Amino acid sequence: MHSETNRVVVVGAGQSGAECVAALRMSGHQGPITLIGEEPSYPYARPPLSKAYLSGKAGVEDLHIRPPATYEQQGIDVRVGTRVVAIDRAGRSVAFDDGTSLSYERLVLATGGRARRLPVPGLDTAPNVHYLRTLADVAAMRHRFVPGARLVVVGGGYVGLEVAAVARGLGLAVTVLEALPRVLARVTAPQVSAFYQRIHAEEGVEVRVDTAVTGFAFAPDGSVTSVELKSGETIDTDVVLVGIGLVPNVELAEESGLLVDNGIVVDEYCRTADPAILSVGDCTNHPCGENGGRRRLESVPNASEQARVAAATITGNPRPYTAVPWFWSDQYDVKLQTVGLSTGYDDVVIRGTADTGRSFAAFYLKDGAVRAADVISSPRDFTAAKKLVAQRAEISPASLQDLSVPLKQML
Ligand SMILES: Cc1cc2nc3c(=O)[nH]c(=O)nc-3n(C[C@H](O)[C@H](O)[C@H](O)COP(=O)(O)OP(=O)(O)OC[C@H]3O[C@@H](n4cnc5c(N)ncnc54)[C@H](O)[C@@H]3O)c2cc1C
């Protein structure tokens, strides 16, 4: 029998919320657990939304993070289609959009984020302009992904490039518009950006960098018919996908007086300044051992690890978040796996060739130590790269470049 006094309420039924409730039971939490999500679905993985699910190769049942039945089996009360609208910190309860409320002993905010919108009048109501964060977003756009349709992707980040790849596979004519001088500029080295620009060009995507969008032309029904560029050019289109980043969902925390600074501020145990409230996933700003500072990360591995750390904190076996960040992206037949944080590097070493072919690695060095790596289509090298980054291995650029010596021998 669960005691009602030690209820954990998790707000946000996405990757981190779903993993947190599972980790709580795994860690021995016996009290009631309630998982609340405003989306109508049971927790699902978002990565396939811009990959196998958008292309039609995966169905919705393949997306579930855990089979829905397991929540009930583990005594986890899941309330989907339910939005938390306020936190009463003094009274330790959350209020729902239907006017009811629920008390908690511990509260976990796992509210994720939402797609950043382009602030252009008319765009939010244009039926052929799409953002990609949820299953509902895919449902709204998928019927437009038909052979011969013209797609303009605004933003050369991971989501935009993955959608471009899927769209090519489905036979669309695709143009990617990136305002900065290269795609993936904030997250990778110029050589990796150049690689992706080449791959997309080889696949028939027109990638235009240094290309700022200045406006849109609309049809009488409100649809966008063309995209206007700073150069004065216009690009006719049937569908627009805007992929310009994420805005963390921090309003609940902020309105309840918790500290927010590009994310809900937590320590390495996922605790906010309120001992009863923790936070996990894309919505958190947390200490990051990798660069000694604080970061807000948007990745499944981060969401999963923070979920486990929060569960450990709640169940009285605290351990700090020390995992080295990693991430992946699939475009065409190319799998990128990246580990560590490349910000602040002073040297990039390319192992293999980035200018031809579809497999190589980029190592980011700082003060002679390997701090991060982007490994393209080589899982074996990625396994070794993870260890090199974790060890902050000091390896000369010449050794890293020497293809005759397997990476794992450098450990
Ligand atoms: C298209 C796409 C592709 C991606 N590809 C990759 C990839 O290849 N690799 C990778 O590592 N990561 C990828 N990611 C990122 C990854 O999906 C996220 O990092 C991860 O989902 C974060 O989990 P989260 O639980 O923090 O947030 P989310 O998964 O966003 O979940 C938060 C949930 O909380 C709900 N919520 C918010 N506020 C409330 C409220 N007040 N009341 C109730 N519910 C609320 C939201 O509706 C949402 O369902 C991708 C993301 C997208 C969108």
Instruction: Mention every residue, 6+ apart, whose C-beta is less than 8 A from residue 226.
Output: 216, 217, 234, 235, 236, 237
| Contact criterion met (CB below 8 Å) for 252 and 86 | yes
Instruction: With beta carbons less than 8 A apart as the criterion, state whether 213 and 180 touch.
Output: no
Say which amino acid occupies 2: H
Q: Which CATH class is domain 4-114+246-314?
A: alpha beta
- Are 117-242 and 333-410 the same fold in CATH? no
Polymer length of the chain: 411
Which pair of tokens denotes residue 53?
């699910």
The finding on whether 15 has its CB within 6 A of some atom of ligand 1 is: yes
* % of the chain at pLDDT higher than 70: 98
Our answer on whether the CB atom of 256 is closer than 6 Å to any ligand 1 atom is no
The pLDDT of residue 288 is above 90? no
Q: pLDDT digits over 188-206, tens only?
A: 999 999 999 999 999 999 9
The count of other CB atoms within 10 Å of the CB of residue 157 is 20
Q: 388 φ, ψ to 5°?
A: -60, -40
Please name the residues in contact with 205: beta carbons below 8 A apart, sequence gap of 6 or more. Answer: 164, 165, 168, 174, 175, 176
Q: Count of alpha carbons within 13 Å of 202, Cβ hemisphere only?
A: 14
- Model pTM score: 0.96
Specify the ligand 1 atom closest to the Cα of 246.
Answer: 53
Percent of the chain with pLDDT over 90: 95
Judge if the beta carbon of residue 109 lies within 6 A of ligand 1: no
Nearest to 308 by CA among 107, 21, 75, 32: 21
336 Cβ closer than 6 Å to some ligand 1 atom: no
Q: Which residues have CB under 8 Å from 291's CB, separation 6+?
A: 341, 343, 344
Residue with the nearest Cα to atom 2 of ligand 1? 47
End-to-end CA distance of the chain: 50
Could you tell me which of 280, 289, 303 has the C-alpha nearest to residue 15?
303
Distance CA 50, CA 61 (A): 16
Ligand 1 centre from 134 Cα, in Å?
8
CATH code 3.40.980.10 for 117-242:
no
Domain 333-410 fold: Enolase-like; domain 1 (3.30.390)
Q: Residue 327: CB within 6 Å of ligand 1? A: yes
Average pLDDT across the chain, whole number = 96
19 lines ligand 1 (CB under 6 A): no
Band (303; pLDDT cuts 50, 70, 90): very high
Tell me what pLDDT residue 3 has.
Answer: 45
Q: How far is the CA of 84 from the centre of ligand 1 (A)?
A: 16
The residue ranges of every structural domain in the chain are: 4-114+246-314, 117-242, 333-410
CB count in 10 Å sphere of residue 136: 11
CA 14 to ligand 1 center in whole angstroms: 5
51 CA distance to ligand 1 centroid (A)?
15
Residue 35: pLDDT band (50, 70, 90) is very high
91-148 confidence digits (pLDDT tens): 999 999 999 999 999 999 999 999 999 999 999 999 999 999 999 999 999 999 999 9
Q: How far is CA 34 from CA 12, 84, 97, in A?
A: 10, 12, 16
327 C-alpha to center of ligand 1: Å? Answer: 14
Closest ligand 1 atom, residue 327 Cα: 11
- In ligand 1, which atom is closest to the CA atom of 46? 17
Residue nearest to atom 17 of ligand 1 (CA): 46
Secondary structure in 3-state letters for the chain: CCCHHHCEEEECCCHHHHHHHHHHHHCCCCCCEEEEECCCCCCECCHHHHCHHHHCCCCHHHCECCCCHHHHHCCEEEEECCCEEEEECCCCEEEECCCCEEECCEEEECCCEEECCCCCCCCCCCCCEECCCCHHHHHHHHHHCCCCCEEEEECCCHHHHHHHHHHHHCCCEEEEECCCCCCCCCCCCHHHHHHHHHHHHHCCCEEECCCCEEEEEECCCCCEEEEEECCCCEEECCEEEECCCEEECCHHHHHCCCCECCCEECCCCCECCCCCEEECHHHEEEEECCCCEEECCCCHHHHHHHHHHHHHHHCCCCCCCCCCCEEEEEECCEEEEEEECCCCCCEEEEEECCCCCCCEEEEEEECCEEEEEEEECCHHHHHHHHHHHHHCCECCHHHHHCCCCCHHHHC
Span 310-354, pLDDT tens digits: 999 999 999 999 999 999 999 999 999 999 998 889 999 999 999
Task: Provide Rg for the chain, Cα atoms.
Answer: 22
Cβ contact 249:113 at 8 Å? yes
**Residue identifier of the C-alpha nearest atom 21 of ligand 1:** 15
